[in-house]
Structure 1
Amino acid sequence: MSVLDGLEPKELWRRFGELSAIPRPSKEEEKVLVWLKKIAEENKLQWEQDSVGNMVIRRPGSSGGENAPPIVIQGHVDMVTEKNNDINHDFSKDPISLMREGDWITAKGTTLGADNGIGVAAALALLTMPTTTKLPPLECLFTVDEETGLTGAKQLKGEMIKGKTMLNLDTEEWGSVYMGCSGGGDSLIRMPLTTLQTSSLKAGEWQWYEVKCGGLKGGHSGLDIASGRGNSIRLLARALEKVVTAHQAKLSLMRGGNKRNALARECTAHIALPASSKAKSLALLTKSFGSYQHEYKTAEPTLSFSCEPLPSNQHPAGFLGEKSADALLCLLTNLPHGVMRMSTDKEGLVETSSNMATVELDLTKESKAEPHVEIVCSSRSSLSHALEDVRASIATLCKVCGAEVEQPESYPGWHPNPESKVLKVTKECYKELTGKEAEEVAIHAGLECGIINERCNGVDTVSFGPTIKGAHSPDERVQISTVKPFYDLVLRVLARLAG
C-alpha cells in the first residue's frame, strides 16, 4: 500500500509517486525525460525536445477550448539531492522513500523533490484529463537543470513555445501569487598582487595577529539584502584600512564568505602590527569594532570581533606590498553592496542590489603561483539595464584599482506587471475558490519565469503552488491539504482562459 493512496487529486499524486521512483539529480535528468516521452506517446500527444533536454508536450484544447490561444504550463524536472548523514541513499539510482506524517508528505532522510515534482505531476495530470474537461490548448514545458544555475531555461529553444500566457507551478506558499522576480549576474574579480617576504621584517619589531569579524546573521543575498544586516568582509576591510593607513600594518590573509548567493557572516584576516605602535594600533581596531557594533546594534545584536596574537608556527611566508594592500582595501570598502534602488511599482520590493559575497587571499605558504586575491560579487535587479549598470560600476572600480574582472552572461528578471491579464484571472479564481484574496508577491531572487519570458519574446506569467516547507533539505515536505486547492485553481484558471 502506498502512502499516497486515497489522496486527491488522484492522478496528480499517482504521477508524483511514479516521478519519485525515478532518479533525477540536476544535470542527470535523462531517465525522467525518457519517462515523459513514454507518457506523451502512450497518450498520442505531440512532444518536442531541444538540444539541452528541455521538453514540451502538447495537448489540444477540449470541450469548448479548442480555439483558444495555447497556455504554457511550466515546471522543472530536476531536484536538489541532500540527505542526512545517517542515511544510505544513492540519488543516481535509488528511488525516494516517501512517508506520510499527518498533513504532510515527506521523505525518509532525503530531499523529497516536491520542488518541483508537484508542479511536474500537476502538468502531467492536465495532459491526461478527459476530453470532457474544458481546457485550452496546453504546452507543458519541462525544463532541466534549474537547481544548479537555471541553465535549462537559459538555453531554452524559444521557438518550441507558441503560447503567450504561462502558469509556472514552482512556488511554495499556497495563497501567494508570484508576479515578479529579479535577474542576476556575477562579477568574478581577480587582482594581481605585489608581495614581500616575511623574512624582510626585522625580528622583534612586528607582531602578527589574527583578526576576526563574526556573529552576523547572514542570509540570502536577495531575499535578505534589505534587512540592514552587516557584511563581515566590508566591516573588517573598513577596520583594516584604518590601521594600515595610520600604522602601516601588513596584511597576509583575508578570507570571508562562502557562497555567492549568501551574505558574508564571517571574515578572518592576518596582520602584522609594528611593535612601536602596537598599543595604538590595537586601540584603533577596538574603537573601530565598537563603532560598528553600535552601528549594527539592532540588525546584528551578536556581531563580534576578536584580535588575538598569531602563534609563531602560523606566521605567513609573505605579506602584501603597500600599494597592493591599499588597492585591495580600497576595492573592498567601495564595491557596491546592499540595496541600490527600491521598486517604484511594488511597495517594499528591492529593484536592484549587489552582494560582495566572498574574498580569498592567502599568503600563508610559499607558492610559485602569481600572488592574487579573488573576490566574487553577485548583483540582482528586476530591470536588465539596471543590473548591467551595477556590473559596469563594479568593472570600472576594478579597473581603477588594478583588478581584472570576468562577468559571465547575466539572466533576466521578471518585472512586475500589475496590469497582467493572467494575474487578474488567477486572483479572481483564487477568491472564487477560497473566499479570500490572494497575496501578490514579487521577490528579489531568481526564478525561471524571467528567463523564459526573454527566450520566448514575452510571456504573460504568474507563478503559484502548494505549501512546501524545508525545500533543498532533508526536512522538505509538502502540505497535503494545499495540493487539491492548488490543482483546482490551475483547472479554474485554465477553464477561464479557454473562453
Structure 2
Amino acid sequence: MNAHLEQLSPRPLWRHFRTLCNTPRPSGHEAALVAILERWAEGLGLAHDRDAFGNLRIRKAATPGFESAPGVILQGHLDMVAQANADHPHDFTRDPIETRVGDDGWLHACDTTLGADNGLGVAAALAILEDETLEHGPLEALFTLEEESSMGGALNLAEGWLEGSLLLNLDSEDRGQVYIGCAGGADVIVEAQLPTAPLADDEVPLGLSLTGLSGGHSGIDIHKGLGNANRLLVRVLRALEPFGARLVDYRGGTLRNALPREAFATLVLPDADEAPARERVAALQAELRAELSGVDEGLTLTLSPLDVRPAGALTEQASRLLVRALHVAPCGVERMSVEVPGVVETSNNLGVVSLEGGRFHLCALVRSLRDSATADLADRFRALFELIGARTRVENAYPGWTPSPQSPLLARFRRLHREQLGIEAEVKVIHAGLECGILGGKYPRLDMISFGPLIRGAHSPHERVALDSVTEFWGLLRALVEDLARGETP
C-alpha cells in the first residue's frame, strides 16, 4: 500500500514514511515497527539497542576524518495519534494508513490521522542514517515510545545511555520556524462512583449527540477558538436541567491530547418535557453554530428517542452535581504568556469524559510554560471535583523546556536557514509537550533545537503535510548535520 509515496521527493525519506504508514503504530503498539527498524539497521551494519522501557537507539560511526566532531542525536517518537472519522471503520492496531496526494500540494490520509506527526521526523532520521554521501560526526537516532499517550518513552528513558551532546528534535510542525522551548504538562484523572436510581414510569430515554467539530492538537490549536465537544455537550446538558434530565451514560473524546470532536450522552426526562427539550436543543444548535461561525463550522446537535429502556440513571442530585462540576471545570486557554508574546502560557483540555453504570471518569491534559501553574491548575481540578465526592490524581507529569536563546546550535541553524532559504528562521516557544524538556532533565548538558516540515490538523483526521516543506526540511537537516561535523563557525 501507499506505493505512490516512493515517487515523491526526497525519495529516501518518503520510502521510510511509506514503511511507517504501512505499519500500525498507535501508542502502546510500536513493537512491530521497532522490530522492522532493528532488522533494517542490521541490514546496514548499524549498531542498535533498546533501554529497559523499549526506546530504540540506532548508531552510526562518524565519516572517516570526522571522529572528533560533536555527537549528534536525531530524535523523534514512533507512535502516532489514532483518530478516524465516525463513519470510517479503522483498526489502528491492524490497518495501515491510506494516504493520498491532493491537488493542493499536500499529503492527506483517507479519513484518519496521517501520522506525519512524528512519522516524517522518524523517516528523516532513518534517511540520514543510510545516506552514504553525507559527511557527519558520530550519529545516534533516538526513537521513543508512547509520546502521544503519556510521554512514557521520554519519562522512562535510561540515563547515562545517550552519548551525543547536540540533539535535533524533529517533531515540530511549522516551516520557517525553530523551537527552543515548550510547555510542560500533566494528566489529571478524576474518578467517582455516583448513585443511580431506576427510571420513573413517565421518564423516557433519549440519545444526545454533538458531532462535526474539527478537532485538533490540544496544545498547538488550543487558542484558535475551535469547539471542544465535551465542553459544548455539557453546556447542552446544563440547559436541559430545568426539564428534569438525568444522565444515564456519557462518552466524549478519545485522547487527552486531542481536542474532542464528538460527544454522546444518554439521558432520561419526563415524557411531557420531551417536546420542549427538543425545541431547546434545536435553539442551542443555532446558538453554538453562530458562536463557532468562521472557526469550526460543522457542529451538529441531535436529541432522539431510544428504543432500549435503560435500567437506571444517575439520581437527580448526582446528575446535577456532575453536570455543574463539568460546566465550571477549567477548559481552554487559562493565561497567555507575558515573557513570550503571542504564546499560550497555561491551558487545559477536557480530553476524555465517560460515564457508565454510575462510574465517572475524566482525563484532562493541563499544559503550562510554568511548572508551578501546571500544578496549580491540577489542584483546582482536585478542589472542584472533591465537592462531588470524586477522587483526583495527577499522572505523567513532565517538565517544560526552558529556552536558551544563546545556544550555539541555534546560531548554526539560523545561519543555515538564511543560506538555504534566503529568510530568517523565526525562533519560537511552543505550547505543546515536546520531549525536549524531559530529555533535558535527564541529560542537562544537551544543546537542543526542534524543527520540522509544515503539518496542519495534527491529532485529527484533517492532518496533512505540505509536500514542498518536506523538501525544505530535508535540505536543512542534511546541511545542519554536515555543518556540525565540519565545525564551521555559527
Alignment TM class, shorter chain as reference: 0.7 to 0.9
Q: Which amino acid aligns with 1:431?
A: R
Paired residue for 1:16?
Answer: 16
Superposed, 1:341-380 pairs within 5 Å as 341-362=335-356, 371-380=358-367
Please give the per-residue CA displacement for 1:246-293, whole angstroms capped at 9, x wherever unaligned.
67x241325242223223544435242495x99998898888777766
Question: Closer, same or farther in 2 for the Cα pair 1:282/1:99, shift >3 Å?
Answer: closer
Q: Which amino acid aligns with 1:381?
A: S
Separation of aligned partners in 1, 2:143 and 2:231: 41
Separation of aligned partners in 1, 2:125 and 2:287: 55
Paired residue for 1:366?
Answer: none
Paired residue for 1:368?
Answer: none
Separation of aligned partners in 2, 1:408 and 1:362: 23
Please give the per-residue CA displacement for 1:299-331, whole angstroms capped at 9, x wherever unaligned.
5666565666x46x5444323334323321231
Using the TM superposition, give the Cα deviation of residue 117 of structure 1 relative to its aligned residue in structure 2, in angstroms: 5.4
Higher Rg of the two aligned structures: 1
Q: Which amino acid aligns with 1:328?
A: L
- The farther-off stretch of 49-58 and 387-396 is 49-58
Question: Closer, same or farther in 2 for the Cα pair 1:197/1:75, shift >3 Å?
Answer: closer
Question: Closer, same or farther in 2 for the Cα pair 1:273/1:388, shift >3 Å?
Answer: same
1:217 aligns with 2:213: yes
Separation of aligned partners in 2, 1:83 and 1:236: 20
* Corresponding residue SS for 2:333: strand
Q: Which runs of 5+ in 1 are unaligned?
A: 364-370
* Corresponding residue SS for 1:457: coil
Paired residue for 2:136?
Answer: 135
1:255 aligns with 2:250: yes
Q: Which amino acid aligns with 1:163?
A: G
Q: Which amino acid aligns with 1:219?
A: G
Question: Closer, same or farther in 2 for the Cα pair 1:389/1:460, shift >3 Å?
Answer: farther
* Corresponding residue SS for 1:227: coil
Q: 1:29 aligns with which of 33, 37, 40?
A: 33
Separation of aligned partners in 2, 1:452 and 1:495: 24
Please give the per-residue CA displacement for 1:369-404, whole angstroms capped at 9, x wherever unaligned.
xx3322332222233332222212112222222012
* Corresponding residue SS for 2:53: coil
Superposed, 1:286-301 pairs within 5 Å as none
Separation of aligned partners in 2, 1:107 and 1:315: 39
Q: Percent identity?
A: 33
Using the TM superposition, give the Cα deviation of residue 160 of structure 1 relative to its aligned residue in structure 2, in angstroms: 1.0
Paired residue for 2:380?
Answer: 393
Superposed, 1:262-411 pairs within 5 Å as 262-263=259-260, 265-273=262-270, 310=305, 313-362=307-356, 371-411=358-398
For the aligned residues, what is the CA RMSD?
4.8
Paired residue for 2:168?
Answer: 167
Separation of aligned partners in 2, 1:341 and 1:281: 36
Count of aligned pairs: 475
TM-score (norm 1): 0.75
1:426 aligns with 2:374: no
Superposed, 1:97-108 pairs within 5 Å as none
Separation of aligned partners in 2, 1:123 and 1:137: 13
Paired residue for 1:67?
Answer: 68
Paired residue for 1:185?
Answer: 186
Paired residue for 1:367?
Answer: none
Q: Which amino acid aligns with 1:16?
A: H
* Corresponding residue SS for 1:226: coil
Separation of aligned partners in 1, 2:219 and 2:483: 34
Question: Closer, same or farther in 2 for the Cα pair 1:476/1:207, shift >3 Å?
Answer: closer
Separation of aligned partners in 2, 1:470 and 1:237: 25
Separation of aligned partners in 2, 1:318 and 1:438: 59
Q: Which runs of 5+ in 2 are unaligned?
A: none
- The farther-off stretch of 53-62 and 299-308 is 299-308
Using the TM superposition, give the Cα deviation of residue 426 of structure 1 relative to its aligned residue in structure 2, in angstroms: 0.9
